[in-house]
Amino acid sequence: MNDFGASLATASHLIFNADAALLRIVGLSLAVSGSACVFAALFGLAGGAALAVGRFPGQRIVVLLLNTLLALPSVVVGLVVYLLLSRAGPLGELGLLFTPPAMVIAQTILALPLVAALTRQLVADALRGSGDQLRSMGAGPMTRAALVLVHDRWSLLTLLLTAFGRAISEVGAVMIVGGNIDGVTRVMTTTIALETSKGDLPLALALGIVLLLVVGAINVLIALVQRLSKEGR
Amino acid sequence: MAMSSTRRRWVAALALIGCGAIGAAAHAQDKFIVMSSTTSTEQSGLFGHLLPAFMKETGIQVRVVAQGTGQALDMGRRGDADVVFVHDKVAEEKFVADGWGLKRTPVMYNDFVLIGPKADPAKAAGKDIVTALGKLAAANAVFVSRGDKSGTHAAELRYWKAAAVDAPAKAFANYKECGCGMGPALNIAASTNAYVMSDRGTWLSFKNRADLGIVVEGDTKLFNQYGVIVVNPAKHPHAKKDMAQQFADWVVSPAGQQAIAGYKIGGEQLFFPNANEAGR
Amino acid sequence: MSEAGPLIELREASVRYRDVTALDGVSLRVGRGQRIALIGSNGSGKTTLLRTLHGLQRCDAGERIVHADVPQAMVFQRPFLLRLSAWSNMLIALWLAGVPARERIDRARDALRRVGLLEQRTRPARALSGGQQQRLALARAWSVLPQLLFLDEPTASLDPAAKQEVEDLVMEFAAEGMTVVMSTHNLGQAKRLATDVVYLEGGRLIAALPTERFFTERLPDAAARFLKGETTWQ
């Protein structure tokens, strides 16, 4: 239990002293995972909505595949993206490996199925009660999807915050495609992994506490948002 | 799919913008090279001391991706690194012979130490690593091996062989391979009170020692030679050969060698520059 | 049935959901100016018939013929209103109907004034009472200037006062020349509002007559039983 006490103390020390290195690492984590969320939302919302309203052969299989991708291990995604972006790989010319954009790409791939699958479910459920009215009013399929997403915007926000949580807490993908380069691609989770492997467990734990606080703040946000949505109805 | 053509155009445009932004960001800092090295070297803290000095002199940022020796060389083969800095002479010479690297230059050495419980149940303490390992096998002592094809692992296997233990995993039951880096291996040894072979640098910075201490040190066989290799631009034309060569030249120059010697933990020097010694 | 200019017609239309036949060979012609009441017990196919006439449901057999492509609108028993203000709901409906931007504000205002909800326009649509929500749905429908209006039991969930308000509005629309097809449980409502009454049972059209004749003439047994209130819920 001494480790926990020491770690809490270290965590407070780090936070209150606004340790420059820590701030840079936290900032990069938020930037990478935030960007990944934005891209995942752009493609996932459209894709999930299209899956919900579209009618095409093999639709069931696509949905099954999508739901399976929810369990994509982050380290597998990291490996695949690494092989793609490596100089020896097809996209090597882009020179993206070991840079933050590579990390954004990997985390987008991780978050995308989550956003798409949840959006599909959200839109399909919402249209069950409203589809007739919206069709009667002349709304095409994607317009219907867009309208129910606006209608259920609080659920949508929760969905996006969930995707963000998935991105910011993963370590497997960013470690492999980012290389955990000091000052360039080092984020919170890879720093924790590094300090753990160095045996500096109190520091690793302290960083873990900081990460938990960031993710915790997000969950507080979700709760506040839900409270607001109930009052706003 | 039921996407209208206007929406499709929007999605395509956004995707293009996104790719453009990514590409732009990637080329933002152009004066850098990627160096693949080993976890033990990075974790010793040497780079934090050495690379700023190089940057100050040349303005070139060295981005270190730290993995095991095997992976580091593989990165060089793939062209994902511009320069390789590891400690496995045999593998390094093969790397150059196969045409992946230009030339191997010795840089510095550090040494390995045999770590074990202070109580030393196998009575391995002394100045001879080979004898010590023989005793460990005979006593079926608990031994943690990195088992990850790293330079440290390769060295460890050479010592076992010299002690007439060809396949330690088969020779005694308490030989445990973790397939992990130096830090985790030390962690496992600390929590199971086992013997483990480590480089001095990682041991000196290791904070989680429990009941462990140095059991064998100083045997010249334990010296661990580092070499630097510039990745061959003939194999990978995009490799930043000039900047990588600048680094390789600097690290064996008096300035670089002095910087290496100047790195200490707790007043103790970790790495000993020997670029000028023949035959290293 | 009166022979006014036909708008929509179904010929031997059938609709099947998996193994349930919701509509079974129904032939019906909706003429301009008619007010048709669809009556029958739950599950008789009233909603399916309305949806098929309106074009929300495709026929599995038979055909739907559009004699005159006029603007249509539909009002459901429980109106689906977006979680936005009443005003926003109006604007979105007008946008979906393709009304040009400069006209939307005026038409939204006129429609809300028509149903007596102009004062409530900034309130969240879902915060309105049941009757108000249904009036908003009617405003939404009316604002796109439909010539054919479908209503699926529009007053079934409302209290008597709200029921009256909605009925009055429907009568006003009809008086202005709107063709109305409305399903209802309420025989009194059918008598008050309709020019023609259609009785459905088990997806089949059992009887279709002008209102006065429907309630005075001798009807097929099934319809007669329904009127007497003896029909079971199957």
Q: Which of A3, A198, A203 to mutate to test the interface with B (most CBs of B within 10 A)?
A: A198
**pLDDT tens sequence across B40-97:** 888 888 999 999 999 999 999 999 999 888 889 999 999 999 999 998 888 999 999 9
* Number of domains, chain B: 2
Q: Indicate which CATH number applies to the domain containing B41.
A: 3.40.190.10
Asked if the model's pLDDT at residue C19 lies above 90, the reply is no
Do B104 and B230 fall within a single domain?
Answer: yes
Q: Does A181 touch chain B (CB under 8 A)?
A: yes
Q: What is the pLDDT of residue C10?
A: 95
Chains C and A touch, contact meaning at least 3 pairs of CB atoms under 8 angstroms apart: yes
**B178 within domain boundaries:** yes
d(C-alpha B110, C-alpha B68), whole Å: 17
Cα–Cα distance, A110 to A170 (Å, whole number): 9
Which superfamily does C6-70+147-227 belong to? P-loop containing nucleotide triphosphate hydrolases (3.40.50.300)
CB B178 within 8 A of CB B146: yes
Mean pLDDT value of segment B219-236: 91
Does a structural domain hold residue B3? no
Per the CB < 8 Å rule, is C74 touching A233?
no
What is the band of B10 on the pLDDT scale with cuts at 50, 70, 90? low
Two tokens, residue A48: 């999930």
Does residue A233 register a pLDDT over 60? no
DSSP H helices in chain C: 46-54, 86-96, 101-114, 130-143, 160-175, 187-193, 211-216, 221-227
Phi first, then psi, for residue C209 (nearest 5°) are: -145, 155
Residues B210 and B170 in one domain: yes
Res C234: pLDDT? 44
pLDDT at residue A229 is higher than 70? no
Q: Binning pLDDT at 50, 70 and 90, where does residue A221 land?
A: confident
Residues B86 and B180 in one domain: no
Q: What is the pLDDT of residues C33-77, one digit of tens each?
A: 999 999 998 889 999 999 999 999 999 999 999 999 999 999 999
Mean pLDDT, range C153-168, rounded to an integer:
92
The confidence score (pLDDT) of residue B20 equals 60
Burial class of residue B11, CB neighbours in 10 A (0-12, 13-18, 19+): middle
**Are both B157 and B69 inside the same structural domain?**
no
Q: What is the percent of chain A where pLDDT is above 90?
A: 65
Q: How far is CA C38 from CA C89, C153, C216, in A?
A: 29, 9, 17
- Which residues partner with B264 through β-bridges? B269
Partner-chain residue, chosen from C73, C82, C140, that has the shortest CB–CB distance to A151: C82
pLDDT at residue C180, rounded to an integer: 97
- The answer to the question of residue B90 being in a domain is yes
| Partner residue opposite A97 with nearest CB, options B77, B80, B208 | B80
Joined together, the tokens standing for residue B71 give 């992976």
Residue whose C-alpha is closest to residue A81's, from A71, A94, A66, A64: A94
The span from the CA of C106 to the CA of C93, in Å, is 13
d(C-alpha B199, C-alpha C173), whole Å: 91
Same domain as B116, residue B97: no
Q: Where are the domains of chain C?
A: 6-70+147-227
Q: How many angstroms separate the CA atoms of A175 and B71, rounded?
A: 14
Mutate to test the interface with C, among A122, A125, A130, A132 (most CBs of C within 10 A): A132
Q: Specify whether B134 is located in the same domain as B218.
A: yes
Place A196 in a pLDDT band, splitting at 50, 70 and 90. confident
Please, what are the domains in chain A?
A: 2-228 (1.10.3720.10)
Which of A47-63 are b and which e, b meaning 16 or more Cβ less than 10 Å from the residue's Cβ? bbbbbbbbeeeeeeeeb
Does some domain include residue B24?
A: no
B159 and B252 share a domain?
Answer: no
State what percent of residues in chain C have pLDDT above 90. 79
- Residue B205 shares a structural domain with residue B122: yes
Instruction: Look up the pTM and report it.
Output: 0.83
Based on the domain organization, do B207 and B80 belong to the same domain? no
Residue B211: give the domain boundaries.
Answer: 111-222
- Span A156-168, mean pLDDT? 91
pLDDT score at A1 = 57
Subunits with 3+ Cβ pairs within 8 Å of C are A
Assigned domain for B11 exists: no
Confidence of residue B36 (pLDDT cuts 50, 70, 90): very high
Do B181 and B253 fall into the same domain?
no
Shared-domain flag, residues B42 and B116: no
CB-closest option in A50, A95, A184 to B3: A50
- Mean of per-residue pLDDT scores for chain A: 90
Q: Are residues B41 and B117 in the same domain?
A: no
Indicate yes or no: CB of C54 within 8 angstroms of CB of A136. yes
Which pLDDT tens digit goes with each residue over A22-77? Answer: 889 999 999 999 999 999 999 999 999 999 998 899 999 999 999 999 999 999 99
